[in-house]
Amino acid sequence: MTFNPKADIGGGKTSRRGRNAGIAVGGGLGVLAIVLLGSFLGVDLSGLIGGGGGAPAAEDSSLEECRTGQDANERIDCRMKGAAASLDAYWAEASPSIGLDYVQPQGFVLFDQAVSTGCGNASSATGPFYCPPDQTIYIDTSFYDQLEQRFGAEGGPLAEMYVVAHEWGHHIQNIAGVLDSTRDGETGPTSNAVRVELQADCFAGAWAGAAATTEDPNGNTFLQPITPDEYRQAIDAAAAVGDDRIQEATQGQVTPHTFSHGTSEQRVRWFAAGYDEGVGSCNTFQVSGDQL
């Protein structure tokens, strides 16, 4: 059990778009968007650009069945919706401490195989991503199978929610102006790209650290206290998507000058920093390269 069974997860903007679902593509597909589209894993970006969306698909109504923490404990889509509700509540509370006026993401979309977004068309191969132009987070939950099978992570509910929390962190960076102010197209171990990603991991940790005390509108906590096992699984997921680990697996060698997300060790360390010390510790742009 991860969610408090009584927690109210009914609100929020979580929606679902099926295969071939389309929305009007607005805004340009900028360099930033391309970088961030692969922002979680930095893998295959093929299948992204081009093509408009098809006709808008009817929204699946089954997410409306996700009302309580109990539902979130039983169903992956409800768990995603519950994570979004928890993240919204957390950031509404935590944002003032970093001088930020919190604004919810415009959308949180669960998709199946392919989706048309404000950043162009995306497929499941893209991995979870945040699209700045439409301020929306996109996740195909089949990614969690990949995370286990392809990247060797152990999985588990908190590991899944870490992924959502990381992308939510990019939204925070977007409304804080961090994405705009640090965009330079560089990669490498101390690049802004890596600092952006490690900060998003730290933000995810900060949410996780406060998740068991973050409350729904009725005063029920969203999550139960995180168990050592769950924490370990979240850490394990962060490690699984480190640049070094992925490069070792996909190209047989590690090339630090192409790092865009940070090493396994860094991703784990910054998640842990946020978890232990809160959002104020997520100063990845202030520390020197050897402290990153």
Residues 102-161 that bind Zn ion (CB under 5 A): none
Residue 155: Cβ-neighbour burial (10 angstroms; 0-12, 13-18, 19+): middle
Is 21 or 87 the residue whose CB approaches Zn ion more closely?
Answer: 87
> Least distance from C-beta 241 to Zn ion, angstroms?
9
> Least distance from C-beta 278 to Zn ion, angstroms?
20
> Least distance from C-beta 200 to Zn ion, angstroms?
5
Rule CB under 5 A: choose which of 2, 4, 39, 70 binds Zn ion: 39
Is 73 or 173 the residue whose CB approaches Zn ion more closely?
Answer: 173
CA–CA dist 286, 198 (Å, integer): 12
> Least distance from C-beta 32 to Zn ion, angstroms?
12
* Total of chain residues touching Zn ion, rule CB under 5 A: 4
> Least distance from C-beta 223 to Zn ion, angstroms?
22
> Least distance from C-beta 74 to Zn ion, angstroms?
28
Is 40 or 270 the residue whose CB approaches Zn ion more closely?
Answer: 40
Is 39 or 126 the residue whose CB approaches Zn ion more closely?
Answer: 39
Is 197 or 236 the residue whose CB approaches Zn ion more closely?
Answer: 197
Is 3 or 129 the residue whose CB approaches Zn ion more closely?
Answer: 129
Name the residue number minimizing CB distance to Zn ion. Answer: 39
> Least distance from C-beta 129 to Zn ion, angstroms?
8
> Least distance from C-beta 172 to Zn ion, angstroms?
12
The pattern of x and - marking residues 240 through 279 that bind Zn ion according to CB under 5 A reads ----------------------------------------
Pick the piece of the chain touching Zn ion (CB under 5 A) from 34-42, 84-92, 185-193, 284-292: 34-42
Residues 181-200 that bind Zn ion (CB under 5 A): 197, 200
Is 193 or 272 the residue whose CB approaches Zn ion more closely?
Answer: 193
Is 174 or 221 the residue whose CB approaches Zn ion more closely?
Answer: 174
Name, in order, each residue with C-beta under 8 angstroms of 82's C-beta and a sequence gap of 6 or more.
3, 7, 9, 66, 69, 71, 72, 222
Buried b (16+ CB within 10 A) or exposed e, 226-265: beeebbebbbbbbbbbbbbbbbeeeeeeeeeeebbbbbbe
Residues 214-233 that bind Zn ion (CB under 5 A): none
Q: Which residues bind Zn ion (CB under 5 A)?
A: 39-40, 197, 200
